[in-house]
Amino acid sequence: MHAVEARSGGLFITGTDTGVGKTLVGAALAYLLTAKGCRVGVAKPFESGVADTSRLGQDGDLLRWASGSDAPHDGICPYRLDEPLAPALAAQRQGVRIEWPRVLDTLRQSRAQYDFTVAEGAGGLLVPLAGERLVADLVADIGWPLLVVARPGLGTVNHTLLTLETAKARGLNVAGWIINGLPCQADVAQAHAVQQISGLTDIPCWGVLPQVEGTDREKVVKLARQMEGWDMVRSIRQGSRPEVNG
């Protein structure tokens, strides 16, 4: 089992699908750790749907702001792609050749230069990144613990368990999972999702994040406050070595 630790580690964040809020979760974690004195690196090796590929996209820019990272654009997101498609297809259509060693070097250099690095994938674990390589292959190659972000509501039990089972079947070290965006007035499916998932997996739930309003930066600050009391986040911040399922 790997540990999620502050002084020599990183965490890779994936989602059960696209649009589940994994960038907000990653940015909130980076923001909180930075506020507590940890030098945090951030990485989103692939971002699609970037209007101006000479600059960071919306997700990369939010991660950079949240962490206060001084890394160059390519050190955060080496592959910025213009069409909102899976990276492998977007790169092919844009005429961009993905160099896998460059992707791995981006993550490793960030981990070497900062106390802790928060990295984010594209969509879910089986999204194609380059040729036959998927997000899951990137997680396996880099070897960092994995955090899964899920949405609340009908279908999330199936999607979350599928993601967790896929990760375990591929030998990935799954640190935990989060439900993000729970409404104040939750319906029956939303209210019972955590209990149902927890009863069907031994992988721990880090916590549940509420639905928040405002700009992306305002949302990050609000979510960081929610995370402050979480046991795993305290462990990262304190530099301890909590054991996680994997």
Q: Which residues are the active-site residues?
A: 44
Q: Residue 166: CB partners within 8 Å, gap ≥ 6?
A: 125, 126, 136
Q: Environment class of residue 241 by beta-carbon count within 10 Å: exposed (0-12), middle (13-18) or buried (19+)?
A: middle
Contact by Cβ (8 Å): 110, 42: yes
Q: What are phi and psi of 46, to 5 degrees?
A: -130, 130
Q: How far is CA 135 from the centre of its chain?
A: 11
Task: State how far the Cα of 22 lies from the Cα of 13, in Å rounded to an integer.
Answer: 7
Strand partners, 210: 182
Q: Residue 70: CB partners within 8 Å, gap ≥ 6?
A: none
Which strands, in side-by-side order, build the sheet including 205-210?
Answer: 40-43, 116-120, 9-15, 146-150, 174-182, 205-210
Task: State how far the Cα of 26 lies from the Cα of 206, in Å rounded to an integer.
Answer: 13
